[in-house]
């Protein structure tokens, strides 16, 4: 129940462009959009510049306090932040896109 409340609250605060980890959104939508951009630029012979994020650098480390501050700034109730802070204590994450470690 808490998870749903937190998720709903944070989901409302996310920009439309943020697709990952959101109900009803998919990164496949962004992949399709990029593919269409490339197709249209080729069709109309227009230059196109796409920029992508280096995930290894982007997810090298996460400052827990920065996350907690962001949640506070999004008006998440303090009791939820305290619970999340406890969950984050000694927490590590491994990201393996396409089954390859980064």
The reply to whether 48 and 62 lie within a common domain is no
The reply to whether 2 and 48 lie within a common domain is yes
pLDDT value, residue 67: 84
The reply to whether 62 and 40 lie within a common domain is no
What is the block-wise mean pLDDT of the chain (102 residues), using blocks of 10 residues?
68 65 72 92 93 65 81 88 84 68 62
Which domain, by its residues, includes 6? 1-52
DSSP the chain: -HHHHHHHHHHHHS-TT--TT-TT--HHHHHHHHHHHHHHHHHTT---------HHHHTS---HHHHHHHHHHTT--HHHHHHHHHHHTT------GGG---
The reply to whether 39 and 11 lie within a common domain is yes
């Amino acid at each position: 129940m808490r998870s749903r409340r937190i998720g709903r609250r944070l989901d409302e605060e996310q920009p439309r462009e943020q697709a990952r980890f959101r109900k009803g959104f998919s990164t496949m939508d962004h992949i399709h959009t990029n593919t269409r951009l490339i197709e249209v630029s080729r069709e109309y012979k227009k230059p196109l510049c796409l920029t992508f994020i280096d995930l290894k650098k982007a997810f090298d480390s996460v400052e827990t306090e920065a996350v907690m501050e962001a949640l506070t700034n999004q008006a998440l109730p303090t009791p939820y932040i305290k619970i999340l802070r406890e969950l984050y204590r000694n927490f590590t994450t491994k990201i393996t896109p396409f089954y390859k470690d980064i």
